[in-house]
Amino acid sequence: MSATASVTVDGVPGVEIAYDRKGAGPPLLLLHGIGHHRQAWDPVLDRLAESRDVIALDFPGFGESPDVPPGVPDEVDSYVRAVQAFSEALDLDRPHVAGNSMGGLIALRLGQLGLVRSVTAFSPAGLWTPRQRAWALNVLNSMHRVACRTPPATVRRMARTAAGRRLMTGMIYHRPGQRSPEAVIAETAAMAAAPAFDRVLRLGRSGITFEGDVPGIPVTIAWGTNDRVLPPSQSTRAHRQIPGARIVPLPASGHVPMNDNPALVTNVILQTTTL
């Protein structure tokens, strides 16, 4: 089921969040990364929905969700509060949450604030050094510029071949050839059209980091061994900072591992939600 929820964030009404919902069981929120959209989770959605009430959402300003109205503070925690308000609107009682990249950072913050039952973070942002942060944001900005400047007809032509999909998405997928042409076309269009992209990128450049522990709930931090955006060495810093977290390597997986190894990603999430 696809739908849209309208929520109030920081006293500002009319923040619209598009989402897909499928399955039954304990609620599980899925959070995408910067420039992506909720369909990043499509490779694992059906598997998770066999035993979970799965809700994949588009952050405001990404995918099918319009940008936030004026008055919402320009800060990462506004996304945290938007997810909190979204959960309340759907009557989700402290859902489990899994997030990738920017979504992983927000998932960790939700866990830190006690708003979720468990956190599974795939290559989360915010555990970087200044150099690693600059590299990651430059990679994403380059992908955004290419998406904006490449004519749709060219995107469609390139997406028809494995080599073209590798050229377009090889920085985020370790196995870009197995991403469907339709998915590559859709996510390229979503990145080009995202009204919040530049604003969130500026927030990242301002020095955002994740600080502190996430106590009291199960936390898993999983990293693709072939992540070219956020190097998997950052998992060492995650272990020091969040000593209770389970650290899981994802072999032969890139920055967005749901496409590269959907069975493993599914198992990692399900294991965390049953700890």
Structure confidence by residue, pLDDT tens digits, 146-166: 999 999 999 999 999 999 999
pLDDT of residue 74: 87
Structure confidence by residue, pLDDT tens digits, 62-107: 999 999 999 999 898 999 999 999 999 999 989 999 999 999 999 9
pLDDT of residue 160: 95
Q: Does pTM top 0.85 for this prediction?
A: yes
**pLDDT at 223 exceeding the cut of 90:** yes
Do the beta carbons of residue 52 and residue 28 sit within 8 Å? yes
Q: What is the mean pLDDT of the chain?
A: 96
Percentage of residues of the chain with pLDDT beyond 90 = 96
Percentage of residues of the chain with pLDDT beyond 70 = 100
Structure confidence by residue, pLDDT tens digits, 116-141: 999 999 999 999 999 999 999 999 99
Do the beta carbons of residue 260 and residue 105 sit within 8 Å? no
Identify the CATH number of the domain defined by range 2-129+208-273.
Answer: 3.40.50.1820
Sign of CA dihedral 106, 108, 112, 114: positive
User: Distance (Å, rounded) from C-alpha 4 to C-alpha 63?
Assistant: 12
For 212, phi then psi, to 5°, come to 90, 180
User: Distance (Å, rounded) from C-alpha 174 to C-alpha 165?
Assistant: 11
pLDDT of residue 246: 97
pLDDT of residue 164: 94
pLDDT-derived band at 1 (thresholds 50, 70, 90) equals confident
Q: How much is the average pLDDT of 226-255?
A: 95
Axis crossing angle, helix 152-159 with helix 162-169, rounded to the nearest 10: 120
pLDDT of residue 85: 97
SS3 helix, strand, coil % of the chain, rounded to 5?
A: 45, 20, 40
Do the beta carbons of residue 61 and residue 196 sit within 8 Å? yes
Domain ranges of the chain: 2-129+208-273
Do the beta carbons of residue 192 and residue 186 sit within 8 Å? no
